[in-house]
Structure 1
Amino acid sequence: MPDPAPPADCIAARALDAHVAWILDRAADGPALDAWLVDTVDTLLAHAETLTLAEAVSCEQVTETALRYAADLPLTGGIPELIGAVARALRDQPALADACIGDLVPDDAIRTFIAKISELHGLRAGAVAELHRSDAVRGLVATLCLHALRGWIGEAAGRAGRLGALGQRLPATVRDAFDLILARAAEQAGDGAAGLPEYLLRHIDDHALQDALETFWDRLAEMPVAPLREGLGDDDIEDFAALAYGYWQSLRDHPTYRAMIARGVDAVFERYGDTPLRALLVDLGVDRAMMLHEARHYAPSVLAVLHDRGILEAIVRAQLAPFYASDAFAGAVGGGTATTR
């Protein structure tokens, strides 16, 4: 391929050098760069007054991008290690040494959440119905009752002394029969307890439930974090990271997950598709001052590094050189035809 740079002794080469130098000077940290940043932000915002979200990008494009990164992007094996490293760093954070759970979770938010839960009558009724129909719940209650009965009888026998010794001398068939009676009693207790949630649902009102949940939260909020993190070893964190990674991998492949992403994008466009981008930014809490602050925060340091290493000049020159070596430039200055197009 021909060299896109114009001959060094022609006007195109001098114009290219001057243009590159002008851009680099404006990119240097100082009044020129700040003025360029302000002008760029203001120009973008001026166009954002009339350009809508749907005009700038389609719902299909956003959905495709969201699925590409949320569902289709290959996840490397280094991600669990990164998750584990971050989790260990958070666990070992010195600020947690004297913290309680209530210091990490906003109290007002929890109480508001509890109040809302107390109002969800339909959700509570549905949960109770599932518990009532669940054989697993009955089995769990029966198991707990059986252990409780055995423990209570064992304690009573121990207190009785000789009665306990007498029980040990009973024939095995009698003891087996007694165990069978206990198991049957526990099973009946489980069947009866299955209706307990429904009974509670009828007799506990919203305020009582809210008070119970808030009492539980009050106790939980006072629990110190230190003992909890001391019981969480490095191996535990690595195991949790691997489990989370595996769950995320399987979730990404599920059609329902992809459908939810697509529906979420649709909802955004239904609400903001015909909204000017400036109004959308305002709704999202992004204003001119914030945009300028972030531009001034990052641009000078990034451009300075690129400038010092010659990267910025190479990028600018590579972008401009083909034009100054083209027939378009030669025709514009009336100098005939350049060596390349």
Structure 2
Amino acid sequence: MAKNTHSPEDIANKLLELHIQHEMKAFDNAAFSTWLSEESETVFEWLRSTKLNQLVPQQSINDTIHKNVVEREIPGSIAEVAGEAASKLFTSGQHKNTQLNEIMTSHEVEEFVDKALELKEQRQEALNRIIDLPVYTDLISGVLYQAIVRYIYDNNIFSKKVPGVSSMLKFGSNVISKTVPKLEGAVEDNVKSYISNNLGLIITESKLFLENNMTDEELKTSAMDLWDLVETKSLGELQAGMDSLDLSEFVVLGYEFWLRFRKSAYFKRSYELIVAYFYDKYGDNDLSVLFDDFMITPQRITEEAERFAPQILDALRESGQLEELLRRRLASFYTSSEALDCIKGH
């Protein structure tokens, strides 16, 4: 038998090249899909009998959220891109020409209205808070004042009810022009005084009126009447008066709010509570329970992988990145002292 004249290093390099070519063939689209399907079935079966707590501790999830959601810096360009993308959509023809009923049906609106009407306590609390707002008090005062004063003037109360005014009209317009303003001022002061003294009663009556008259049936009828008015309007009509700059500014405000809100104690308690609930529900169960609830199957995993993998693999192969990645990954083994010693021993 001829003596092998190749050095261990030469043999190791040859084996490295053969291994790389073997792996490159495995990353052919068809071969990769077959491998992924077979391996995902195997791994999936193992996972189904494994508990969530065995794989990932609950605190690890909290730590991941804190690091990646709370602490990780968010580039300002994200808000800029989001604003520009929103403006692009906001000003597009397909957006402006889309009617509201193409997005939501009357049946869906009715279901939302019915569900909202079940929140009776919240609705009553909201109405009470609105009525107690100073702006509502000012509104009621202003409406009553204008209505009463207009009634007095439009119905000639001066000439009909105020003693002496009707006879005064006989003296001519000069007398009237001097006297009526004084009477008007007195009447308007009295009206304001009356409204001020009775405002508490008026507000109470407003609450009672709304409680007695805002029935579920009337609210639903009003809501559906409103829908009938707007459902055939285009989004362009509904957004009239708001331009892309307004939308961009709202995106920036939302971005700035999120930067502050994510560091709040409320947000921390919220995500920790949700994670705790999730682990209470699934932590001690086999992952098969979670997979079934969320309809996670090997087929779905393979389908999603195959949706993107072929294009990515083609790009990696054509650019030479895939071969270089494999070479870097495998070379450290074939050049290791353990591998070379093994070759020398044979």
Give me the TM-score of the superposition, normalised by structure 1. 0.81
Match for residue 296 of structure 1?
A: 306
Match for residue 34 of structure 1?
A: 33
Give 1:42 shift: 1.3
Give 1:238 shift: 2.4
2:87/2:245 contact within 8 Å kept: no
Number of equivalences: 325
1:63/1:261 contact within 8 Å kept: yes
Pair 1:279-2:286 in alignment: no
Alignment of 1:92-131 (within 5 A): 92-131=91-130
- How far apart are the structure 2 equivalents of 1:169 and 1:181? 20
- How far apart are the structure 2 equivalents of 1:10 and 1:77? 53
Match for residue 4 of structure 2?
A: none
1:79-138 residue CA offsets vs partner (Å, 9 max, x unmatched): 332121111121133323432222223443332221122122222333344345544532
Give 1:203 shift: 4.8
1:84/1:237 contact within 8 Å kept: yes
> Against the structure 1 CA distance between its residues 132 and 330, is the aligned structure 2 distance closer, same or farther, given a 3 Å change threshold?
same
Q: Which amino acid aligns with 2:272?
A: A
> Against the structure 1 CA distance between its residues 118 and 18, is the aligned structure 2 distance closer, same or farther, given a 3 Å change threshold?
same
Give 1:46 shift: 1.3
Q: Could you tell me which of 210, 216, 219 is aligned with 1:209?
A: 219
Match for residue 91 of structure 1?
A: 90
> Against the structure 1 CA distance between its residues 171 and 283, is the aligned structure 2 distance closer, same or farther, given a 3 Å change threshold?
same
1:98/1:225 contact within 8 Å kept: yes
- Range moving further from structure 2, 174-183 or 79-88: 174-183
1:252-273 residue CA offsets vs partner (Å, 9 max, x unmatched): 2321122112112212222222
Give 1:221 shift: 2.3
- How far apart are the structure 1 equivalents of 2:208 and 2:145? 23
Give 1:288 shift: 2.8
Pair 1:312-2:311 in alignment: no
- How far apart are the structure 2 equivalents of 1:195 and 1:328? 92
Alignment of 1:91-240 (within 5 A): 91-131=90-130, 133-146=132-145, 176-187=185-196, 188-189=198-199, 191-240=201-250
> Against the structure 1 CA distance between its residues 204 and 39, is the aligned structure 2 distance closer, same or farther, given a 3 Å change threshold?
same
RMSD: 3.3
Q: Which amino acid aligns with 1:327?
A: S
1:52/1:276 contact within 8 Å kept: yes
> Against the structure 1 CA distance between its residues 143 and 53, is the aligned structure 2 distance closer, same or farther, given a 3 Å change threshold?
farther
Q: Which amino acid aligns with 2:11?
A: I
Pair 1:324-2:334 in alignment: yes
1:26/1:33 contact within 8 Å kept: yes
Give 1:12 shift: 1.5
- How far apart are the structure 2 equivalents of 1:232 and 1:14? 68
- How far apart are the structure 2 equivalents of 1:233 and 1:119? 36
Gaps of 5+ in 2: 1-6, 160-168
Match for residue 335 of structure 1?
A: 344
Give 1:24 shift: 0.9
> Against the structure 1 CA distance between its residues 336 and 148, is the aligned structure 2 distance closer, same or farther, given a 3 Å change threshold?
farther
> Against the structure 1 CA distance between its residues 101 and 149, is the aligned structure 2 distance closer, same or farther, given a 3 Å change threshold?
farther
- How far apart are the structure 2 equivalents of 1:191 and 1:79? 53
> Against the structure 1 CA distance between its residues 222 and 178, is the aligned structure 2 distance closer, same or farther, given a 3 Å change threshold?
farther
Gaps of 5+ in 1: 1-6
- How far apart are the structure 1 equivalents of 2:176 and 2:309? 84
